[in-house]
């Protein structure tokens, strides 16, 4: 009996020690999670949240969207198989995702520019430095902080910024950074939608946050009714083939004529659905100097931008997301803007100077713009 009693005491002692170790590890992870959020704030992120995402529903919605062909020429949206929604298939051993957001709005003169058909409207996210580089660098620094905190562990961690097959909006929604609105953007009740998202896939089993924001779009349809090209066939669904952001940035060929007059002076992206969203009344302006407008892109004349030669385009879009479309598509987009501008002999002269451009794509859109200008000047 004494022997059994001794064994029981030993079992109880070992159990108590095991429980203490579990509690200690749990507290250690809780403390680390708080540190990660504090570090994230110091790196300029307005929110940092930790989630163990379940992307099964999001993957079903994606498949339905793809089957309807709403992705247009973005074939990469259908690639990578289940790596897109099973996180540890994209990055081995991933058990958590650290989701972050960073405000980017640096200019609020949007409506005035849209109303002036002689000016070029550039989506507010693209006025300054390319966010991919800035946020990725901050996330990489956050990864190093975490690794230095736990040097004894061999961690698998990888940062993403609008790259690779990452379902960033569903992840951010589950992390409590906002809800996906009727315009398919992530909305935050205290910050609107003028922010970038980023993620760190990690093998660290951190405690998760359970602060999911309720969808507060209600009966509002402002984003849907304001869309210049009717790109929303129904709430929460975007037909990218009709979206001005897709047409001016992702689409590589000629822009269908039916959309050209509807584009107005929007030459790189479109923010109309954000501008009209009531939740953006609560948006804060960014504190990041790198997101402030460069080369007067927030208030530039169409003719000024259209006059850039290839080298000027490269020089003035260095470090900018605009550079990715290249000079040819830049001229394509601007030609449409000039065609939509009020009748002007100066604009017509600018267009005629590009009439023999070596690119068939540019020539097609310049010719269309010339016809629009000639018609307006004839009427006047």
Q: Which whole-number Å values give the CA distances from 113 to 8, 107, 245, in the listed order?
A: 79, 11, 17
Q: Which whole-number Å values give the CA distances from 338 to 231, 269, 270, 303, 349, in the listed order?
A: 23, 16, 17, 8, 11
Distance of alpha carbon 190 from alpha carbon 175, whole angstroms: 16
Q: What is the DSSP string of 347-365?
A: HHHHHHHTTT-S-HHHHHH
pLDDT per residue as tens, the chain (380 positions):
555 555 555 555 554 444 444 556 888 899 999 999 999 999 999 999 999 999 999 999 999 999 999 999 999 888 888 899 999 999 999 999 999 999 999 988 999 999 999 999 999 999 999 999 999 999 999 999 999 999 888 899 999 999 889 999 999 999 999 999 999 999 999 999 999 999 999 999 999 997 788 999 999 999 999 999 999 999 999 999 999 999 999 999 999 999 999 999 999 999 999 999 999 998 989 999 999 999 999 999 999 999 999 999 999 999 999 999 999 999 999 999 999 999 999 999 999 999 999 999 999 999 999 999 999 998 76
Catalytic annotation on 162?
A: yes
**Residue 147 token pair:** 């690794």
Distance of alpha carbon 159 from alpha carbon 140, whole angstroms: 6
Catalytic residue among 117, 162, 290, 299: 162
Name the DSSP letter for residue 249: I
Instruction: Work out the angle at residue 138's Cα, subtended by the Cα atoms of residues 133 and 143, and round it to the nearest 5 degrees.
Output: 120
Name the DSSP letter for residue 184: S
Name the DSSP letter for residue 234: B
Q: CB neighbours of 349 closer than 8 A, spacing ≥ 6?
A: none
| Phi and psi, residue 132, nearest 5° | -55, -50
Estimate to the nearest angstrom the gap between the alpha carbon of 105 and the chain centroid.
13
Distance of alpha carbon 265 from alpha carbon 244, whole angstroms: 11
Instruction: Work out the angle at residue 185's Cα, subtended by the Cα atoms of residues 58 and 52, and round it to the nearest 5 degrees.
Output: 40
**Cα–Cα nearest to 331, from 313, 348, 344, 343:** 313
CB 229, CB 243: distance < 8 Å: yes
**Residue 27 token pair:** 């507290």
**Cα–Cα nearest to 141, from 62, 77, 200:** 200
**Cα–Cα nearest to 86, from 248, 7, 201, 245:** 201
Residue boundaries of the structural domains of the chain: 29-116+127-202, 222-379
* Residue 199 β-bridge partners: 99, 160
């Amino acid at each position: 009996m004494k022997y059994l009693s001794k064994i029981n005491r030993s079992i109880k002692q070992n159990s108590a020690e095991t429980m203490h170790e579990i509690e200690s590890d749990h507290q250690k992870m809780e403390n680390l999670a708080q540190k990660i959020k504090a570090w994230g704030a110091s790196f300029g992120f307005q929110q940092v949240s930790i989630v163990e995402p379940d992307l099964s529903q999001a993957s079903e919605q994606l498949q339905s969207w793809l089957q309807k062909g709403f992705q247009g020429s973005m074939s990469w949206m259908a690639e990578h198989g289940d790596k897109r929604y099973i996180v540890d298939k994209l990055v081995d051993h991933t058990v958590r995702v650290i989701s972050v957001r960073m405000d980017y709005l640096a200019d609020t003169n949007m409506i005035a520019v849209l109303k002036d058909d002689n000016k070029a409207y550039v989506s507010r996210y693209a006025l300054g430095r390319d966010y991919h580089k800035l946020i990725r660098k901050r996330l990489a620094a956050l990864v190093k902080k975490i690794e230095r905190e736990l040097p004894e562990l061999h961690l698998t961690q990888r940062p993403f910024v609008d790259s690779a097959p990452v379902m960033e909006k569903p992840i951010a929604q589950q992390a409590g950074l906002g809800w996906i609105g009727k315009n398919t953007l992530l909305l935050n009740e205290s910050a609107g939608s003028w922010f970038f998202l980023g993620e760190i896939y990690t093998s660290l089993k951190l405690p998760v946050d359970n602060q999911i924001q309720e969808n507060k779009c209600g009966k509002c349809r402002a984003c849907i009714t304001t869309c210049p090209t009717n790109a929303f066939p129904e709430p929460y669904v975007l037909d990218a083939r009709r979206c001005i952001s897709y047409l001016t940035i992702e689409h590589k060929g000629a822009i269908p004529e039916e959309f050209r007059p509807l584009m107005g002076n929007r030459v790189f992206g479109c923010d109309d659905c954000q501008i009209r969203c009531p939740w953006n009344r609560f948006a804060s302006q960014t504190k990041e100097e790198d997101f402030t407008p460069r080369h007067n892109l927030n208030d530039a004349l169409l003719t000024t931008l259209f006059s850039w030669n290839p080298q000027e385009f490269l020089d003035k879009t260095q470090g900018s997301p605009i550079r990715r479309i290249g000079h040819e598509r830049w001229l394509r987009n601007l030609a449409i803007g000039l065609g939509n501008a009020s009748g002007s002999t100066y604009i017509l002269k600018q267009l005629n100077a590009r009439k023999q451009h070596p690119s068939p794509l540019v020539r097609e859109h310049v010719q269309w713009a010339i016809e629009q200008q000639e018609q307006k000047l004839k009427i006047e």
